[in-house]
Amino acid sequence: MQLRPLSQPDLPLLTDLWVRSWKTLKLDIDFDARRAWLPQHLTALMTGGTKVIAAYAPELAGFVTIDPGSGWLDQICVDPEHFGRNVAKELLNDAKSHAPRGVDLDVIEMNARAIRFYLKEGFKIVGHGVSPRSNLKTLLMRWAP
């Protein structure tokens, strides 16, 4: 697996991957309708200094965003075809290396798979909230070195 910064030409493939991954949760959300949002959102994050790291195995297998200044992990996503192949672990470890003071993230409470993964990777639940985009309940999770 190779990790490298996202290149703009990969945004359409990354968007397809993001939609496929979110659809596995079977939430009552039309992720196809949100396609236009993701490239705009990632571009805005990158403009603000957030790193977007993509995993290739050899095709695009996932990505993570991390703000090195704040430690905020806004997105981590793995193609469903690569679930269980340590893509998320590699991406998360890379994110941690860019945020040595710690990493914070929100995860949807209904995403039991992700919550188990984060707990296994040393995160702790430190708060509760609601996603402003979906109105779904979230958990604030934190990893500290």
* Share of residues in the chain with pLDDT > 90 (%): 77
Kindly compute the dihedral angle of the four CA atoms of residues 57, 6, 36, 114, in this order, to the nearest 10 degrees.
Answer: 60
Confidence of residue 25 (pLDDT cuts 50, 70, 90): confident
Instruction: Note the pLDDT of residue 9.
Output: 85
CA-based nearest residue to 106, from 69, 144, 140, 76: 140
Condensed to tens digits (0 to 9), the pLDDT of residues 110-127 reads 999 999 999 999 999 999
- Does 22 have pLDDT greater than 90? no
φ/ψ of residue 95, rounded to 5: -60, -45
Q: Are 63 and 76 in contact, with CB atoms under 8 Å apart?
A: yes
